Structure 1
Amino acid sequence: MPGAVEKRLLDQGLRYALGLRIVVTGLSSSVALALAAMPDRAVAAVVITAFNAWSLLYAVVMVRGSGRARQWLPLVDVAAVCAICLSMTWTVTPDPRGGATWVLIALNMAVVTYPWQVGGRALAAATLTIIGFYYLGATLADPGGWLADRTLGPWTAAEAALSWGLYRFVRRGARASDRLIARGAQLRRAAEIAAARRAGEREYLAALHDTAAATLLMVGGGVAGRAEPWLSEQARRDLRELGRSGDAADGETDLVPMLREAARHTPLRITWRTPESLFLPAADAVSVSRGVREALANVTRHAGTDRAEIRVRQDDARVTVEVADAGRGFDPSRIADDRYGVTRSLVERMIRIGGRARIDSAPGTGTTVTLTCPRALPDVTGDREVISASFQRGLRWAVISISLAILLLLDLPRLLASGAAYTALWPQVATWCGLVAVTLTVAVATWRDRPLGRWRWPLVALVLALSVLATAAVRPEYLLGAAHWSEGDAGWPVVLLLMEGRIAVLVAVLAGQYLITFGQAAIAGEAALSVAGAISATWAVLSYQLATAMIAAVLRGLAATSARELHAAERLRTAEEVARHLHADRTGRIAALAATAVPLLEGLASGALDPGDESVRRACAAEAARMRRLIADDATHADALAHELRACIEQAERDGVTVTFAEQGARPELPPRVRRRLVEPAIAALATARGRARLTVSGTRETVTVSVVAACEPPPPAPDGDGVRRSVLADGDRLWIQAAWQGEA
């Protein structure tokens, strides 16, 4: 099955091929009817009108019809082309000076556009059938005369073969771009899913830090001595947040109401400077609102003021939200990099959406937190360039093949057989060699995948100069005839050199090349063809060259539209995959919290648990410590075990416990499950410790031991596992709690 780019190419190619046939055949037949001599002009008018009407109907049905109609309709078209070949007795006057007849142009356009409509075998059969009927019609119209020229059949077959080659080269380019894009999309999708899962995990941890952990920490620290409405409401809000934390947000949402909702649960008096509405992608709006909530929580806890100001502004590139207070301020340089509230809850949250967070403060001058979120459109430049490069490379090889085939198989025999038609032979040989050299130069550049760059226009000038040289060496009576091989065929190297640029430039240069040639013939005052014959002959070649140039332009537009459609489809598939993975992750997180944190929050929300009760306070403190350890769990940290323990120490010190921390020996990197088993006893001990505590981590290549000496409650019993053994020794009111890991020998 064709890929997305290839399928779009086939659809567009069919439309363009049929449209080109209608235009070229219609113009050539109309010019012939107006200017050329005809045996029976009334019959010719009927035949030409009927055939052009059929071509139009055929194109409409082929483009809009069903698959079954597309299968049998080309057979009818072949019959129609054969019919106009048999009509030459009434529609074509044999005249060597008349150039290519409208019938010949019509059948040539039919066979060169068939590759976009039928397969290779059907193309060969149709071409041979049409050639056979052409010779039959030519023989009936001009027995043994000019119309039945033996070279016309082989050249028509060669045109069909060259057109088939062009079609195959371009389609191969589309197929190559499909493979490259599919491979890149697969890698991007995997990377986006992994990044989304990491971002979801970090957003979940940020929400955990801002909600449940903060509430349990307040209860564990004795901030709330009894059940109060604000505590119940906060616990209920925490449960709601945990339930939807990590949800994949889709579409856009209004940021302003989300900011007001985030500020509603603070005791601060807020001054607002915001627009009435400001729509952002939902995921970005959620991250910004949660960052504002954390900033307001910091004002409440640390600023020593009950006022804050929220300012929101926007432009085409970004949205900026500022949370400012006139409180006591602080020195940001003294905040440790591993402090979660600043580094990860604010800074990393904004980094995850491509934004940034900045904290400006100094003692006595207040604090301003600035959150910036970018407004960026999806970039499809990469895919567009891949598709365009594949298309252009395939088309370039096709035109190289066409140019070389014409020069070697058509022009060289004409040149060698027409010595009497030239005033001197060397200009013809030099021109032929020069055009071959230009074509091979482009072939080498294409093979090496290097653009011609600044050499493009000197080569164009060389082609035009060679065309003038060859025309000047043709005797006047042979100008524009078969011996004047360079008259139109010099245009193929021009197409090859300029087809990747603007179509108007290529048309202008091609027109200039033909006008120079016609000007030389006009100055000579004689030519091998009549005016009508010259127009027909020129149009037969020029239409094919312009068709190739137009294909290049169509392919460039097709690359852009295909890239946009592929990007949209990829975003949809990626969003579905991300949502599926995040749902699984979220389900696992909720299950992990259900046994411990959720019952505590539910009890606080309903009033069933008294925050003044010592056992409740200790349970909340232990769960808050466990959450802090989870938040600090970062496998990318240089020493993840020490990083998690320091998070536990930070909380204990907030509760007034003085902790001495010592590390000894070099430790191996431990998997997360082992780290959790080693840290859990320390969490429980430090959560209930009083006065002073000592925490020690020692290790070798095969062992790691974490021990705590403190006046604390015994940790809850837990089974050993993952190579970790736990032990508890009592010395008066102090306990020595140890967790030791022994690696495999």
Structure 2
Amino acid sequence: MPGAVEQRLLDQGLRYALGLRVVVVGLSGSVGLALAAMPDRAVTAVVVTAFNGWSLLYALVMVRGGARARQWAPVADVAAVCGICLSMSWTVTPDPRGGATWVLIALNMAVVTYPWQIGGRALAAATAVIIAVYYTGATLADPGGWLVDPTLGPWTAAEAALSFGLHRFVRRSARTADRVIARSAGLRRAAEIAAARRSGEREYLAALHDTAAATLLMVGDGVVARPEPWLSAQARRDLAELHRSGGAAHGGTDLIPLLREVARHTPVRVTWAAPDTLTLPAADALSLSRGVREALANVARHAGTDTAEIRVRDDGALVTAEVADAGRGFDPARIAADRYGVTRSLIERMRRTGGRARIDSRPGHGTTVTLTCPRPAEDDGGDQEVITTSFQRGLRWAAISITLAVLTLLDLPRLLTAGAAYTALRPQLTAWAGLVAVTLVVAVATWRDRPLGRWRWALAALVFALAALATSAVRPEFRLGSAHWSEGDAGWPLVLLLMGGRVAVLVAALAAQYLMTFGQAALAGTAALSVAGAISATWAVLSYQLAIAMIAAVLRGMAVSVARAVRADERLRTSEAVARHLHADRTGRIAALAATAVPLLEGLAAGGLDPGDPDVRRACAAEAARMRRLFAGDDGPADALAHELRAAVEQAERDGVTVSFAAHGTRPDLPPRVRRRLVAPAIAALATATGRARLTVTGAGDTVTVSVVATCAPPPPVPDGDGVRRSVLADGDRLWIHASWRGEP
């Protein structure tokens, strides 16, 4: 099955080919009726009108018709083309000065555009039938005369072959673009899934810190002495947050309802300055809403005021949410960098999602927390450049092949057999060799993927000079005729040189080349063709050259739309894949909490657990410490082990335990599972410690040791593993808990 780029190319190519045929055939028929001699002008008008009408109907059927209609329509079209060929006895006057007839132009446009409509075998069969019928009609109209030109059949077949080659070159380029984009999309999808899972994990841990861990910590600290309705409600909200946290990392979410929901569940009275709706990617919206929740919680706990204002702005590139209060304020410089409320919940949360958090406060002047989140920029992942490059490269190679075929297979034989038409043969050979050399220069540049840059203008000037040289060496009575090979074919190297730029520039260059040639013929006072013949002959070649220029423009525009469509489809596929992975991750997290945090929260929510019970307090404190340790170790700082231990120390100090913490030596970067085994005994000890405790972490070579001395409950027995060995020694009511890891020697 064709990929997205190839399919769009086939669809657009079909529309363009049919449209080009309708326009060119219609104009050539109109010019013929207006200027050319006709055996019977009334009959010719009927035939031209009928064929133009059929061409339009055929285009509509091929674009909008069903599969069966598109199967029989080309057969009917071949019959219609054969019909106008057989009508030449009434519609074409044999005249060597008349140039290409409207029938010949219609025939050529039919076979040139067929590659976009039918396959290669059908194209060969249709071309053979049309050529045979053309010679039949030409013989009937002009037996043995000018219409029965033996070179027309081979050239028509060559045009069909060249057009088929152009079609194959561009289609192959589209397939190449599809393969490159598919590989890139796979890599981007894998990276985005990994980033989303990591982001989901971080946001989940942040949610634990802000919700369940905060609630359990409050119980563990003895803030609540008995069951309270508000505590039950908070525990229920925490459970709901655990189940949905991290599950909406993709898609769009309205930020304003999230903020209003946050404000409803705080004791702070909030005033608003915000739009009615503001849609953001779900991860960004959740990050901002949770940051606002933490800021409001800090207002309630520390500001000494019960009012705050939430201000939300969207300037197109940046979304800003501010929480401002007129409370007592504080000095942010005096807040330790490892304190988790302000630094981790606000500043680092926004940093993780690509945003920023700023806290402006002074004692006695209130506090303003500013959270900013950049809107994601539209990005096609480089697909547009891949598609454009592939299209242009394929089209350029096709145009190179066409140009070399025209110069070597058509023009060189005419040049060598028409010596009597030239004042001198050397200028003709020089011009021909120069045009071939220009074509080869373009071929080498294309093969090496090096643009010509400004050199293309010098080469274009050379083409003009060579065309003028060739025309000047043609005898006046032969100019614009078949011997005047450079009259239109010098335009092909111009197409090669200028097809990558603006269409208007190429059209102007081609027009200038033709006008220069016509001007030379007009100054001579005579030519091989009449005015009508010159127009017909020029139109037959120029329409093909302009078609290449228009195809280049269409392909450039198509690259933009295809890249957007491909990227949109990729985002949909990625979103679905991310959703599946996040659902699995969320399920695993809930399962991991099912034996620890969930029972505690469920008990508090239902009122079955008494927050004043010492055992409940110890269990809540231990679980809160474990959650905060996970949050502390998430970002992987330079010394992640000490970082996690400091989180446990802070928890113990909030419980009234005086902790002496010391770190010595140099420690390697330990895998997360090793860190967990090393710090777990210390966390359990500090969660139940009373009085004073001493915590030490040391590193020496390939050995890391964590030890704690405290009056605490014995840690639960856990088997050694991952190179970690643990031991417990008792000295009265004090325990020395030792965990040591030794790496590979």
TM-score of the aligned structures, taking structure 1 as reference length: 0.95
The residue number in structure 2 matching 1:422 is 422
- Answer yes or no: is the 8 Å Cα contact 1:166–1:398 preserved in 2: yes
- Per-residue CA deviation, residues 171-225 of structure 1 (Å, 9 max, x unaligned), is 1111111111111111110010000000000000111111111111111111222
The answer for the alignment partner of 1:278 in structure 2 is 278
Letter of the 2:683 counterpart: I
In 1, Cα distance between equivalents of 2:177 and 2:338: 45
Summarize the Cα distance change of 1:188–1:139 in structure 2 as closer, same or farther, 3 Å threshold.
same
Instruction: State the 1:8 CA deviation.
Output: 0.8
* Superposition pairs of residues 278-357 of structure 1, within 5 angstroms: 278-357=278-357
Measured after TM superposition, the shift of residue 250 of structure 1 is 5.4
With over 3 angstroms needed to count, the CA separation of the structure-2 counterparts of 1:412 and 1:313, relative to structure 1, is same
Closer, same or farther: CA 118–697 of 1 in aligned 2, 3 Å: same
What is the rounded CA distance, in whole Å, between the counterparts of 1:255 and 1:576 in structure 2? Answer: 22
Spell out, residue by residue over 1:705-727, the C-alpha distance to the aligned partner (whole angstroms, 9 max, x if none): 33211011222344444454443
Residues 226 and 612 in structure 2, CA contact (< 8 A), matched pair in contact too: yes
In structure 2, the residue matched to 1:208 is 208
Give the Cα separation in 1 of the matches to 2:337 and 2:408. Answer: 73
Counterpart of 2:680 in structure 1 is: 680
Q: Deviations over 1:659-697 (max 9, x none)?
A: 223345555554333332322221111011122111223
Equivalent residue, structure 1, for 2:638: 638
Q: CA deviation at 1:377?
A: 4.2
SS in structure 2 at match of 1:146: coil
Structure 1 CA distance, aligned partners of 2:450 and 2:338? 49
Tell me which residue corresponds to 1:470.
470
CA 1:103–1:277 in structure 2 vs 1: closer, same or farther (change >3 Å)? closer
AA at the equivalent of 1:295: A
Q: Secondary structure at the match of 1:266?
A: coil
Give 1:94-133 correspondences, 5 Å limit: 94-133=94-133
Which stretch of structure 1 is more off in the superposition, 656-665 or 446-455? 656-665
- 1:84, 1:710 → 2: CA distance? 105
| Alignment partner, residue 484 of structure 1 | 484
Deviation at 1:94, TM superposition (A): 1.3
Greater shift, 414-423 or 181-190, is seen at: 414-423
Q: Which moved more, 1:626-635 or 1:669-678?
A: 669-678
1:15 equivalent in alignment to 2:15: yes
Select between 31-40 and 698-707 the one with higher mean Cα deviation: 698-707
Matches within 5 A, 1:657-668: 657-664=657-664, 667-668=667-668
3-state SS of 2:382 partner: helix
Matched-pair contact (CA < 8 Å) for 2:474–2:484: yes
Name the CA shift for 1:376/1:111 in 2 (closer, same or farther; >3 Å). Answer: same
Judged with a 3 Å threshold, the aligned counterparts in structure 2 of structure 1 residues 520 and 249 are, in CA distance, closer, same or farther, namely same
Deviations 1:100-129 (A, max 9, x none): 111211111111111111222222222222
Distance, in Å, in 1 between the alignment partners of 2:354 and 2:458 is: 46
Decide whether aligned partners of structure 1 residues 500 and 743 sit closer, same or farther in structure 2, where only a CA change above 3 A counts.
closer
Aligned to 2:178: 178
Aligned equivalent of 1:166: 166
Q: Decide which moves more: 309-318 or 202-211.
A: 309-318
Q: Could you say which residue in structure 1 is the equivalent of 2:455?
A: 455
Instruction: Please name the residue that 2:409 is paired with.
Output: 409
Partner Cα distance (1:660, 1:638) in 2:
22
Aligned to 1:64: 64
- Residue 514 of structure 1 is matched in structure 2 by 514
Distance 1:389 1:130 in 2: 36
Cα distance, 1:572 vs structure 2:
0.4
In structure 2, relative to structure 1, the CA distance for the partners of 1:448 and 1:335 (3 Å cut) is farther
Aligned to 1:496: 496
| Secondary structure, counterpart of 1:147 in structure 2 | coil
Aligned to 1:396: 396
- 1:167 Cα offset (Å): 0.7
Q: Which shows bigger deviation, 217-226 or 458-467?
A: 458-467
* Residue deviations 1:354-410 (CA, integer Å, cap 9, x gap): 322222334554432211122344222721121111111111111111111111222
1:418–1:381 CA distance, 2 compared to 1 (3 A): farther
Q: Which amino acid aligns with 1:348?
A: E
Say which SS state the counterpart of residue 148 (structure 1) adopts: coil
- AA aligned opposite 1:283: A
The aligned amino acid for 1:524 is A
For 1:661, the aligned partner's letter is: F
1:337 positional shift: 4.4
**Partner-residue secondary structure (3-state), 2:147:** helix
Which amino acid counterpart does residue 642 of structure 2 have in structure 1?
A
The alpha-carbon deviation at position 742 of structure 1 amounts to: 5.5
What does residue 148 of structure 1 align with?
148
Contact residue 668 and residue 700 of structure 1 kept, 8 A: no
Could you tell me how far apart the structure 2 residues matched to 1:339 and 1:393 are?
Answer: 58
Aligned to 1:453, what secondary structure does the other structure show?
A: coil
The yes-or-no answer on 1:615 pairing with 2:636 is no
Kindly provide the amino acid, as one letter, of the partner of residue 579 in structure 1. A
The SS at the match of 1:705 is: strand
Q: CA deviation at 1:743?
A: 5.6
Letter aligned with residue 159 of structure 1: E
Cα displacement (A) at 1:452:
2.1
Number of residue-to-residue matches in the alignment = 745
Q: Which runs of 5+ in 1 are unaligned?
A: none
Mean CA deviation greater in 63-72 or 571-580 = 63-72
Judging changes above 3 Å, is the alpha-carbon distance between structure 1 residues 635 and 413 closer, same or farther for their aligned structure 2 residues?
same
Secondary structure at 2:727's aligned position in 1?
Answer: strand
Per-residue CA shift, 1:268-310, capped at 9, x if unaligned?
3434332344333333222111111112223333444444332
Kindly state the Cα deviation for residue 537 of structure 1 after the two structures are TM-superposed.
0.4
Q: Which moved more, 1:119-128 or 1:338-347?
A: 338-347
Question: AA paired with 1:26?
Answer: G
- In 2, the alpha carbon distance for the partners of 1:165 and 1:726 equals 75
Match of 1:309, SS? Answer: strand
Contact 2:196 2:249 in 1 (8 A): no
Aligned residue type for 2:687 = A
Q: Which residue of 2 aligns with 1:443?
A: 443
Secondary structure of the residue aligned to 1:507 is helix
Code of the aligned partner of 2:197 = R
Alignment of 1:575-614 (within 5 A): 575-614=575-614
Number of the residue aligned with 2:523:
523
Q: Are the counterparts in 1 of residues 299 and 325 from structure 2 also a CA contact under 8 Å? A: yes
Amino acid at match of 1:120: G
Change (3 A) 1:744 1:476: closer
Equivalent position of 1:733 in the other structure: 733
Specify the code of the residue in structure 1 equivalent to 2:33: L
- % same residue: 81
Of residues 436-445 and 521-530 in structure 1, the stretch that sits farther from structure 2 once superposed is 436-445
Letter aligned with residue 207 of structure 1: A
SS of corresponding position for 2:68: helix
1:338–1:134: structure 2 CA closer, same or farther, 3 Å change rule? Answer: farther
Q: 1:737 aligns to what SS in structure 2?
A: strand
The 10-residue stretch of structure 1 (123-132 or 372-381) with the greater mean CA deviation from structure 2 = 372-381
| Partner SS for 2:454 | helix
Q: Out of 714-723 and 203-212, give the one that drifted further.
A: 714-723
Aligned partners of 1:354 and 1:542: how far apart in 2? 54
Distance 2:337 2:156 in 1: 76
CA distance in 2, matches of 1:259, 1:396: 56
Does the alignment pair 1:74 with 2:74? Answer: yes
Residues 250 and 579, structure 2, Cα contact 8 Å, conserved in 1 = no
Contact 2:704 2:741 in 1 (8 A): yes
In structure 2, stretches of 5+ residues that fail to align are: none
CA 1:419–1:251: 2 relative to 1, 3 Å: same
| Pairwise CA RMSD | 2.2
SS of structure 1 residue aligned to 2:242: helix
Distance 1:338 1:588 in 2: 29
Cα distance, 1:259–1:555 mapped onto 2, change above 3 Å: same
Give the SS at the match of 1:569. Answer: helix
Q: Cα gap change, 1:592/1:26 in structure 2, threshold over 3 Å: closer, same or farther?
A: same
Answer yes or no: is the 8 Å Cα contact 1:217–1:621 preserved in 2: yes
Conserved 8 A contact 1:663-1:697: yes
